[in-house]
Structure 1
Amino acid sequence: MNVHTAARIVPLHENDPRSQDPVLEELVDFVGYRPNALLTMARKPGVVPALLKLLGVTLRGDGLLTEPLRFLVAAEAARGARCRYTTTHLVHAAHHLGIGWDKLAALPSYLDDPRYTGQERKALAIATAGGTLPVREPAQAIGQARQVFTEEEVVEIVSCVAMVGWFNRWNGLMGSVLEPVPSEALAHVPWLKNLEV
């Protein structure tokens, strides 16, 4: 297990004017903490508000699919990329939205676990296919999803997977250090500890 205790580039202090943005404050209100990754991104003006706007369109707020399902899809995509920081954040957010720890702990076996519905399995299969590069059997995953989802819903699922790609690469390169609040997920979802940092 690759463990590090310091980010490769230090996040801005939360009181730094560059880290002050209304969109970031809304996210902090939602998750209950200030993500280190975003405090590092804030070093490049414009990135945080643009990224959080895209996050709001893909994962949060109104959508054809429920927010919990979108975060579950995102967590599976991040799990496929083996990014512990991103995956832990998404698992924590999914729990915050009402998905039980037991169901989140069973995510690696969603194909066979009775806690997952057939519809959830088809959405998660897209996340599994797109969680790595090159993508694995996308035609099969999307073809099966189209049995239960409209084309617009499939686009929404893919947008969740694609959104996670930014975070996986950012956090993998920067070595973002996990904060105490989302770290609580590690005690409930054992497979998170097996992911790369």
Structure 2
Amino acid sequence: NFIPKLQNHLLGRLMGREFDGDTHEEFTDDDRNSIRFIGGRIYSTQTCKIYYTTYDLQRQCDTINPLAHPDIMLRSPVVEEGAEPYWYARVIGVYHANIWAENAAIPGGRNSRRMDFLLVRWFGDEPGYCSGFRRARLPKIGFVESTDEFAFSFVDPANVIRGCHLIPAFNAGRSANLLPHPHSIARCLNPEDVDDWLNFYVNM
């Protein structure tokens, strides 16, 4: 379902929707097929540069590389009280494509444009775990199970705040149940691995 998910992602962006994890359930096959990839091509690149402002108002850059520094953080669109302010993901592919859209709902849809996007594997919050400065505990996350519809999706690089550093929770151990495929592109950071760490701490 790589292409349908990508079409949903691109449609949401072209229609100016706020990022919500690409839960665009109302898009039809006709909507998705209105996206045209010029030359029928999607281009893969090795890295993506994310520029951000530090706390002392300096400009810095993180180079995201699926084979070396793949982990990113984004502002969470969930606004309910008690919700975690950030989402975390591991980048497993950096891509761009030149597209146009045959869709009346997209302003200037017939104009060709380049769109950049990241294929990511999502982390989720650890249930029942509380973190924060008052508790002196780092945020704790783990990969979303591959059977979840939204375990993998696409992200606009413009929504990425910066890269992040994750520390495996060694005491939690490893498991192959989160992604029961021994040789998956989702493990491109460590391609020899056949399982994953169950949890990670977000270094701050």
What TM-score do the two structures reach when normalised by structure 2? 0.25
| Greater helix content | 1
| Greater strand content | 2
Higher Rg: 2
What TM-score do the two structures reach when normalised by structure 1? 0.26
By relative contact order (CA 8 Å, sep 6+), the higher-ranking structure is 1
